[in-house]
Structure formats: C-alpha cells, structure tokens
Structure 1
Amino acid sequence: MAVFTTVTLDDLAQWSAQFPLGRALAIKGISTGIENSNFFIAMESGEYVLTVFEKLSFEQLPFYLNLMRHLAQRDVLVPLPIANRDGSILNALHGKPASIVTKLQGECQLGPEPVHCREVGAMLAKMHLAARDFPQHQPNLRGLNWWKETAPAVLPYLPQEGQQLLQSELRYQEEFAAGTTYQTLPNGPIHADLFRNNVMFDGERLTGFFDFYFAGWDTWLFDVAVTVNDWCIDLDSGALDHARVRAMLDAYHAVRPFTNEEQSAWQAMLRAGALRFWLSRLYDFYKPREAEILTPHDPTHFERILRLRISEPAPALA
C-alpha cells in the first residue's frame, strides 16, 4: 500500500464524479505495504478507500473485487466495492485499474491477545465456508509456482547457509505438494495475507478483514498457517504463543472442523506460510520498485520463523 501513483484531490474530484458518492473532500496516501497505491478518501457521503493497482491487471482484478462483494453479501465482514453509475466496480485512473471500497471502522490490533485471535479464527472459518460457492477461479498467484520462479532471483543475495535453507525448503514443499495428503486438503478461495495490519477491531470486536489482493484458490489450511504465523507469535523471536494459537485454532475448528488430513499436513503448511513470506520479503527488499512512500519489510523475520517451524513440532490443530 505504498504510493506509486500520485492522485491529487483534483484528480479524485474529476474521476469520482462517475460514482454516486457526492463531492470529493479530501485524499490521503496510505504508507504501509508495498503492492498498490492506496488512499483514504473523504466524500460527501462518507469515508472510503481508493486503490490504484500497480501489478494486477484489468483481467485479474474482477476475481478479487467480486470475491469481496460475494463475501460481504454473506455477512462476512469485508469492505464492499462501490459501483459507479454504470454498475462497474473497476475503472481506469491514470491509465491503471482502480476501485473504491467502503472503509472499515476501528483500527488494526498490532498487539493481539487470545480474545483477538479467537475473533480472527472464527471469521476466517466463516469466510472459507462463505466462499465455497464463489463461481470464479483464480490460483494463488504467490503459490508454489511463484516460489520456484522467484527463488533464483534472490539466491545470489543470500549467504551460503541461507541459500541452503531456501533450496532445501523448496524441495520439501514441491515433494509435499505432489503427495496424496496434500491432494486431499479442503480448498477454495483464501485471503492469503491475513496479517495483523489487514484486520480491523473496535476494542475486542472484529470489524473486518481487508486487502484481498493476494487472494486466490488454495488450501484453507495454508490460509490458517499464514494467519497463525503472524497473529500468534512473539515478533522478536518468531516463536509461537500457544495461548493465542489455541484461541485461534479452537475458534476456527468450532465453525469449520479440521480434517484428519489437515492435522497431518499442519507442520508442512506452517513451513509453507513462512517460506512464502520469506521469499516475497527477500524479493521486495533486494528488487524494490520506486515509490513515493515505501516501507519494505525485514526478510530475516520470516527466515527465523521458517527455521522454527522446521525444528519445532507443530501444535495440535484441535
């Protein structure tokens, strides 16, 4: 959510005239993240979020926006894309795809307690079930194929020990994905990036998930692993906080029970979630794009997490 494309208030006023939102009053760039250009905007009708997409195409984006609308219509707490007067929720701004969505209330909970993890686990399970009948299909674009394509670009920047870890974990994940256990895991549309800064709370009440622009079809368990690897850890060490893990997994299981095959795959999925974000942070750190506001993340954080997920037994799913 860095700002790669500048949008002024005059730009917004002209472009937003196609929406039934009234006059544009204010616009402010959002500094966190590194994929798209995001802005808080104030319109006469209320506050919204404007996103200008820097990588995703006009052909890819209907999947994400329609998924959000699908979930919102099924009482999953997510931003609702706003249609213009012609009914379109995706429109060009400065020659790039852009959309407006409703702004969630509250704030991100960056120091979660078990009560917050319980809320996230329950809503994540509800989201997975609500998306089962979503008619569009798009793979997880940051899945195994992307890992294999990206690893050669970052390997030269790593010390020998890091290169060995990356190559060995890639081999492990390729072998696991080819096995029978992986093929039996329940799957469907997933968020794929449900970090602390992509969820809003009002006190202890969850008010919504947002930033669905890494979503795609994958195993539900991978989504759980990605979420646990951020919400349920000590940030300094990467170690799991078992009270928060238990709260999240028990709440998820109460809504959508885990299968025996998922229990068998749990440690591999925790490792997969750590590998995915180690790789993306390595790439963003060593191959950055220019942006007006840019906040790259430290890739060693997920290297530590991956090493721990390899060396320590995974907690029971249920």
Structure 2
Amino acid sequence: MAVFTPVDEADARSLLQRFSLGELRSLRGISSGIENTNYFLSTTTGEYVLTLFERLTHAQLPFYIDLMSHLAEHQVPVPHPQATHDGARITELHGKPSAIVTRLPGQCQMQPGAVHNALVGGTLARMHLAGQDFAVNQPNLLGVEWWAKTAPVVAPHLPADAADMLRDEVAAQVAAAATDAQRALPSGPAHCDLFRDNVLFAGTPDAPELGGFIDFYFAGCDTWLFDVAVCINDWSIDHATGEIRADLADAFLTAYAAERPFTDAERAAWPLMLRAAALRFWMSRLFDFYLPRPAQTLTPHDPTHFERVLRLRRAHTPLVLP
C-alpha cells in the first residue's frame, strides 16, 4: 500500500464525479505496504479507501473486486467496492486501474492475544465457507508456480546454505502440489496474505471486536489450509524467535474448526503447509528486497524473518490441528 502514483485533491474530486459518494473532504496517502497506491478518502457521505493498482492488470482485477463484493454481500466484514454511475466497480486514474471501497472501522493489532487469534480464526473460516459459491476461479498468483519461477532469480543473492535450503524447499513443495492428496484438499477463494496489518479491530482493548479483513489483492483460489498456515505463521508466533505459541495457535485453530472442521487429509498436510506459507513470504520478501521498484514511500520487509521461520518449520512442527 505504498504511494507509487501521486494523487492530489483535484484528481480525487474529478474521480468522485463518476460516483455518488458526495464531495471530497480530505485525501491522505497510506505509506505502509509494497504493492498498490492507497489513499484514505473522506467524503460527505462516508470514509473510503482509494486504490490504484500498480501490479495487477485490468483483466485480473474483477476476481478481487467481485470477491470482496460477494463476501460483503454474505455479511463477511470486508471492504465493499463502490460502483460508478454506470455500474462499474473498476475505473481508471493516471492510467492505472483503480477502485474505491468502504473503509472499515478499527485499527490493526500488532501484538495480538488469544482473543484476537480466535476472532480472526472464526471469521476466516466463515469467509472460506462464504466463498464456496463464488463463480470466478483465479489461482493464487504467488503460489507454487511463482515459487518455481522465482527461486532461480533470488537464490544468487543468498549465502550458499540459504540458497540450498531455498532450492530444496521449492522442490519439496512442487512435488507435493502435484500429488492427488494435495489437489484434493478443501480449497476455494483465500486471502493468502492475512497478516496482522490486514485485519482491523474495533471495540475496546478488553473487549475487541473484529472490524474486518482488508487488502485482498493477493487473494486467489488455493487450499484453505494454506490460508490458515499463513495466519498461524504471523498471528500465533513469538516474533522475536518465530516459534509458534501454543496458546495463540490453539485459540485460532479451535475457533476456525468450530466453523469449519479440519479433515484428516488437512491434518496430514499441515506440517508441509506451514513450511509452504513460510516459503512464500521469504521468497516475496527476498524479491522485494533485492529487486525493488521505485516508490515515494516504500520500506521492504526484512526477508530474514521468514528464513528463520522456515528453518524452524523444517526442523519441527510443534502443534497439530484440532
């Protein structure tokens, strides 16, 4: 959500003429993130987020925009894309595809406890179930095929032992993805990037309420277990060490399973899926760190964090699915 493409108030006023969202009150860039240009957009009718898409093409966007609309209409707390006067939810600004979505209440919780894990786990399961009848099928664009293609690009930047681990893990994941067992895992639309900075909490510190899930622009159709593993590797760990905290993971997984019970096949696949989730973000952070794009406000994430997490998951999986 870095600011790659500048947008001023005159641009925003011109864009708003295509919508029935009132008059502009304020516009403020959002500096966090690494993929799209985002602005908080306040109007006389409400609070919104304006996104200009820097990576995704106009042809790819309907999956993400329509998925958010589908989930919002099924009472899942996600940003609701707004339509122009002629019904389009995707428009254009400065030559980039763009969209305006509702701004959800709350703030991110960067030090989540068990209650936050439980709220996210239960809502993620409901999101997965709500997406079952979503008609559009688009794969996770940063899934196993991207890993196989990108590993040779980032490996030369690594020390020999890390490069060897990267190649070994990619080979293991490619082999697993080709098996009938993994192909048969429950799957469908998945967020694929549901980190702590992509969930908002309202309420009070003592009684938090889930404000919603944001930033669906890495979403894709994948195994739901991958989505769960991504969350556990961020929500339920000691961030200084990367070790999974049993109390947080149990809260997340128990709440998820109460909405959608895990299958025996998912239990068998769980250790490798935790590794897959760590690999995906190690590789994307390596790519962003060594091959960055210019941006006005861009701070790449530290890739060594997920290298450490992957080493831990390869050595030991300290929990089982309920």
Asked if Structure 1 and Structure 2 have the same fold, meaning a TM-score greater than 0.5 normalized by the shorter chain, the answer is: yes
Give 1:270 deviation, angstroms. Answer: 0.2
| 1:147-296 matched pairs, under 5 angstroms | 147-202=147-202, 203=204, 204-296=208-300
Amino acid aligned to 2:67: L
| 1:52-63 matched pairs, under 5 angstroms | 52-63=52-63
SS at match of 1:136: coil
Give 1:183 deviation, angstroms. Answer: 2.0
Q: What TM-score do the two structures reach when normalised by structure 2?
A: 0.98
Which 4+ runs in 1 deviate beyond 2 A? none
Give 1:100 deviation, angstroms. Answer: 0.3
CA–CA distance in structure 1, aligned partners of residues 176 and 261 of structure 2? 23
Give 1:177 deviation, angstroms. Answer: 1.2
Contact 1:2 1:33 (C-alpha < 8 Å) held by counterparts: yes
Contact 1:266 1:314 (C-alpha < 8 Å) held by counterparts: no
CA–CA distance in structure 2, aligned partners of residues 313 and 12 of structure 1? 49
CA–CA distance in structure 1, aligned partners of residues 159 and 16 of structure 2? 49
Give 1:4 deviation, angstroms. Answer: 0.4
| 1:115-134 matched pairs, under 5 angstroms | 115-134=115-134
What is the aligned partner in structure 1 of residue 6 from structure 2? 6
Contact 1:9 1:25 (C-alpha < 8 Å) held by counterparts: no
What is the aligned partner in structure 2 of residue 82 from structure 1? 82
CA–CA distance in structure 2, aligned partners of residues 101 and 88 of structure 1? 12
What is the root-mean-square deviation in Å for CA atoms of aligned residues?
Answer: 0.7
CA–CA distance in structure 2, aligned partners of residues 183 and 70 of structure 1? 25
Contact 1:155 1:163 (C-alpha < 8 Å) held by counterparts: yes
Give 1:153 deviation, angstroms. Answer: 1.1
Contact 2:28 2:41 (C-alpha < 8 Å) held by counterparts: yes
Aligned residues with identical type, % of pairs: 54
Contact 2:12 2:24 (C-alpha < 8 Å) held by counterparts: yes
Give 1:314 deviation, angstroms. Answer: 4.1
Q: Does 1:22 align with 2:22?
A: yes
CA–CA distance in structure 1, aligned partners of residues 30 and 316 of structure 2? 37
CA–CA distance in structure 2, aligned partners of residues 313 and 68 of structure 1? 33
Query: Which stretch of structure 1 is more off in the superposition, 280-289 or 17-26?
Result: 17-26
Deviations 1:40-79 (A, max 9, x none): 0111111110000001011000100000000000010101
CA–CA distance in structure 2, aligned partners of residues 189 and 106 of structure 1? 25
CA–CA distance in structure 1, aligned partners of residues 242 and 44 of structure 2? 44
Which runs of 5 or more structure 1 residues have no equivalent in the other structure? Answer: none
CA–CA distance in structure 2, aligned partners of residues 249 and 287 of structure 1? 36
Q: What TM-score do the two structures reach when normalised by structure 1?
A: 0.99
Q: Does 1:315 align with 2:322?
A: no
Give 1:184 deviation, angstroms. Answer: 1.9
SS at match of 1:293: coil
Deviations 1:111-169 (A, max 9, x none): 00000000000000000000000000100000000011111111111000110110010
Contact 2:137 2:221 (C-alpha < 8 Å) held by counterparts: yes
Contact 1:40 1:50 (C-alpha < 8 Å) held by counterparts: yes
| 1:37-52 matched pairs, under 5 angstroms | 37-52=37-52
CA–CA distance in structure 2, aligned partners of residues 20 and 178 of structure 1? 48
CA–CA distance in structure 1, aligned partners of residues 229 and 220 of structure 2? 15
SS at match of 1:59: coil
Contact 1:192 1:216 (C-alpha < 8 Å) held by counterparts: yes
Which runs of 5 or more structure 2 residues have no equivalent in the other structure? Answer: none
